């Protein structure tokens, strides 16, 4: 496995090898969720590039940038064992300078849901993803459905800016009890870990209602809110795949999204129905 920190060197290397490239951008503290993206990228491309970069511009003041889990050595080993060909491991100064061109998330779709509780978060996400895509110039880039709004905004950016990379969505990997894997799960104490399962139960109950043909969004989200009640709920929404609110759930074209706080840890989850 080759490791690069310099963007220009990586760019030249990838240009010279002239192969199909699958790209998996991450913030490290790798788990099975990240590995499933790598596996999919390996199936579909000749070369797989993973980036590990805890992007400062997507954290708001007072968020967990400083204490975000960093496991550099373990991550390198995981990448090697997962058959990653190239690891891109830049420092902030390799990516950003003092006076920057930057991208703004769309004013409506970028400022609802997670963008509402974290204004400017998606400006940082889109800016870094654009930079990373320009450095790697991949054939395909892989993003988890777990971060559904991020996936939606990145797909929108690629379409609206006429970029040629293919964005490939990947299903959410879960623990045996259903909790979606996340690098932030390490923040949870063992009682909080149990509390977090309310998020899974709420989505499960929504799935059960839909299977009984109860499709009214308000009925479904009210039931979900009852299950989530002890947690601090940021949002519970039913949207279509274009991320517009819908009153009646459309099977095959809907996402049910939850964000709730367990202690101080914000957890996201969703199901695509
Ligand atoms: P992160 O390191 O949290 O920025 O995540 C990097 C990529 O992995 C993003 O595209 C995430 O959506 C994806 N990802 C995170 N958790 C999971 C999971 N449990 N299953 C599948 N993909 C995931």
What tens digit of pLDDT does each residue of 158-200 get? Answer: 999 999 999 999 999 999 999 999 999 999 999 999 999 999 9
Pairing of strands 86-88, 166-170: unpaired
Q: Best substitution site from 22, 26, 35 to test ligand 1's pocket, by max atoms within 8 Å of Cβ?
A: 26
The domain boundary, picked from 170, 192, 211, lies at: 170
Is 177 part of a structural domain of the chain? no
Cα(115) to ligand 1 centroid in Å equals: 18
Which residues touch 266 (CB under 8 Å, ≥6 apart)?
Answer: 117, 184, 234, 259, 260
Residue 240, phi-psi category: left (phi > 0), alpha (psi -120 to 50), beta (remainder) = beta
Question: Does residue 72 fall inside a structural domain?
Answer: yes
**Within 13 Å and on the Cβ side, how many CA atoms surround 235?**
18
Domain of 58: which CATH number?
3.40.50.620
Task: Report the C-alpha gap between 273 and 269 in whole angstroms.
Answer: 13
What percentage of the chain exceeds 90 in pLDDT? 98
Tell the residue nearest (CA) to atom 14 of ligand 1: 144
pTM: 0.97
What does the mean pLDDT of the chain come to?
A: 97
- Protein residues whose CB sits closer than 6 Å to any atom of ligand 1: 26-27, 33-34, 36-37, 143-144, 146-147, 170, 172-173, 180-183
Task: Give the residue, by CA position, lying nearest to ligand 1 atom 11.
Answer: 144
Q: Are residues 42 and 163 in the same domain?
A: yes
What's residue 102's pLDDT? 86
Kindly give the distance from the C-alpha atom of residue 33 to the centroid of ligand 1, in angstroms, as a whole number: 6
- Whether 272 is in a domain gets the answer no
Question: Are both 196 and 248 inside the same structural domain?
Answer: yes
How far apart are the C-alpha atoms of 35 and 61, rounded to whole Å? 30
Span 223-238, average pLDDT: 96
Burial class (CB in 10 A: 0-12, 13-18, 19+), 108: exposed
Domain for residue 175, yes or no? no
192 and 157, same structural domain?
no
Instruction: Measure 168 CA to ligand 1 centroid, in angstroms.
Output: 13
Assigned domain for 75 exists? yes
pLDDT tier for residue 126 given thresholds of 50, 70 and 90: very high
Q: Are residues 187 and 130 in the same domain?
A: no
Alpha carbons 31 and 51: distance in angstroms, whole number = 14
In this structure, the answer to whether residues 156 and 187 fall within a common structural domain is no
- Listed residues 170, 203, 233: the one ending a domain: 170
pLDDT surpassing 90 at residue 142:
yes
Any idea of the CA torsion for 225, 227, 231, 235, to the nearest 10 degrees? -30
Domain coverage including residue 49: 2-170
**Closest approach atom of ligand 1 to CA 25:** 6
Q: Which atom of ligand 1 is nearest to the CA of 146?
A: 12
Q: How many CA atoms lie within 13 A of 254 on its CB side?
A: 21
Last residue of a domain, one of 148, 170, 192: 170
Q: Does residue 165 share a domain with residue 111? A: yes
Q: Which residue has the tokens 């960093």?
A: 70
Q: Kindly state whether residues 19 and 132 are assigned to the same domain.
A: yes
The number of domains in the chain is 2
Exposed (0-12), middle (13-18) or buried (19+): which is 100, by Cβ within 10 Å? exposed
| 27 and 158 belong to one structural domain | yes
- With the CA atoms of 22, 25, 26 and 28 taken in that order, what torsion angle do they form, in degrees rounded to the nearest 10? 70
- Centre of ligand 1 to C-alpha 170, Å, is 9
pLDDT digits (tens, 9 = 90+) for 13-43: 999 998 999 999 999 999 999 999 999 999 9
User: Cα(214) to centroid of ligand 1, in Å?
Assistant: 30
* Mutational test site, ligand 1, from 27, 28, 34, max ligand atoms within 8 Å of CB: 34
CATH of the domain at 254: 3.30.1300.10
pLDDT at residue 233, as a whole number? 97
Q: Are residues 163 and 190 in the same domain?
A: no
Range 68-89 average pLDDT: 98
- The answer on 160 and 27 residing in a single domain is yes
* Structure token digits, residue 172: 């959410």
Q: Is position 178 within any domain?
A: no
**Does 201 map to a domain?**
yes
pLDDT-above-70 percentage for the chain: 100
Instruction: State whether 64 and 94 are in the same domain.
Output: yes
Is 273 part of a structural domain of the chain? no
* Tokens encoding 52: 């590990």
Cα–Cα dist 168/164, whole Å: 13
For ligand 1, atom 17, which residue shows the shortest CA distance?
33
How many Å apart are CA 164 and CA 272, to the nearest integer?
26
Q: Which two tokens stand for residue 111?
A: 């400022």
Cα separation, 219 vs 47, whole angstroms: 47
* 204 a catalytic residue: no
| pLDDT above 90 for 251 | yes
**Residue 192: partners with Cβ closer than 8 Å, 6 or more residues away:** 262, 263, 265
Atom of ligand 1 nearest to the CA of 171: 21
Same domain, 87 and 19: yes
């Amino acid at each position: 496995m080759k490791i690069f920190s310099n963007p220009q060197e990586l760019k030249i290397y990838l240009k010279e090898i002239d192969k199909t490239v699958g790209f998996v951008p991450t913030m490290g503290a790798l788990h099975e969720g990240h590995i499933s993206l790598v596996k999919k990228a390996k199936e579909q491309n000749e070369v797989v590039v993973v980036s590990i970069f805890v992007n400062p511009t997507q954290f708001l003041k007072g968020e967990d940038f400083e204490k975000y889990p960093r496991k550099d050595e373990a991550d390198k080993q995981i990448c090697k064992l997962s058959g990653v060909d190239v690891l891109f491991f830049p420092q902030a100064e390799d990516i950003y300078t003092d006076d920057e061109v930057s991208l703004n998330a769309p004013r409506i779709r970028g400022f609802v849901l997670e963008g509402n509780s974290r204004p400017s978060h998606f400006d940082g996400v889109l800016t870094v993803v654009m930079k990373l895509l320009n450095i790697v110039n991949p054939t395909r880039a892989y993003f988890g459905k777990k971060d559904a709004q991020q996936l939606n905004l990145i797909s929108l950016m690629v379409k609206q800016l006429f970029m040629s990379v293919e964005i490939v969505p990947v299903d959410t990997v879960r623990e045996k009890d259903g909790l979606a894997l996340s690098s932030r799960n390490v923040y949870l104490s063992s009682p909080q870990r149990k509390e977090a399962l309310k998020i899974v139960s709420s989505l499960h109950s929504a799935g059960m209602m839909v299977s009984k043909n109860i499709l009214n969004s308000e009925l479904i989200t009210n039931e979900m809110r009852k299950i989530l009640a002890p947690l601090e709920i940021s949002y519970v929404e039913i949207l279509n795949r274009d991320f517009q609110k819908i009153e009646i759930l459309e099977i095959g074209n809907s996402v049910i999204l939850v964000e709730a706080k367990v202690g101080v840890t914000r957890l996201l989850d969703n199901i695509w129905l």
